[in-house]
Amino acid sequence: MSTDTTLTWSPELALGDARTDTTHEEFVELVNATAAAAPEAQLALYQELLAHTVEHFAQEERWMTACGIPPDFCHFGQHNSVLEVMREVERRALIGEMALIESMLEALVEWFPQHAQSMDAGLVGYLAEKGFDTATETFKDGAAATATALPSCSSHESGSSCA
């Protein structure tokens, strides 16, 4: 396994929300398992990683939607971009272009820590502020929250956090 395709779970990646942290740890494990796999097993593991990532992003998007965050918000867009590329890599790997899997893993290893520490950290904080419980996917006070004071995508790109 190349160090370029290895993620290490660390305290910096833990965001303090049990469900988010568990999902992120699973993602890290799947990236590493796919990178370490024998060539004949790599595509099946990549497909497992893709399926996990689809559900991982859908989970976060359910939470954002429940809190009134609009679907054109930057966090949704980043998820869509990542999944689009991952699906294209799967399509091409199925026709024999297996080297693209390693390239995708390298990109995920580079992308994930920054995404988790900025966008996902912002989301976890926002959910807590709104009283949204990720374990039950409900609001603690029983009332739905509306999106307020969301950071703009342009402010995220300049370094501040984004939900």
More confident residue, 16 or 163: 16
pLDDT confidence of 148, banded at 50, 70, 90?
low
pLDDT digits (tens, 9 = 90+) for 10-42: 999 999 999 999 999 999 999 999 999 999 999
Over residues 49-80, the pLDDT tens digits come to 999 999 999 999 999 999 999 999 999 999 99
Q: How confident is the model at residue 5 (pLDDT cuts 50, 70, 90)?
A: confident
pLDDT band of residue 151 (cuts 50, 70, 90) is very low
The reported pLDDT for the residue numbered 2 is 46
Structure tokens at 43: 């595509």
- Above 80 in pLDDT, residue 155? no
Long-range Cβ pairs for the range 82-85 (8 Å, 24+): 82/53, 82/57, 82/108, 82/111, 83/50, 83/53, 83/54, 83/57
Question: 158 pLDDT exceeds 60?
Answer: no
pLDDT tens by residue, 95-141: 999 999 999 999 999 999 999 999 999 999 999 999 999 999 999 87
- In degrees rounded to 5, what are phi and psi of residue 135? -70, -40
Residues in Cβ contact with 89 at an 8 Å cutoff, skipping those fewer than 6 apart:
46, 100, 101, 103, 104
7-11, 85-89, 151-155 — most confident range: 85-89
What pTM, to 2 d.p., does this model score? 0.88
C-alpha span between 108 and 75 (Å, rounded): 16
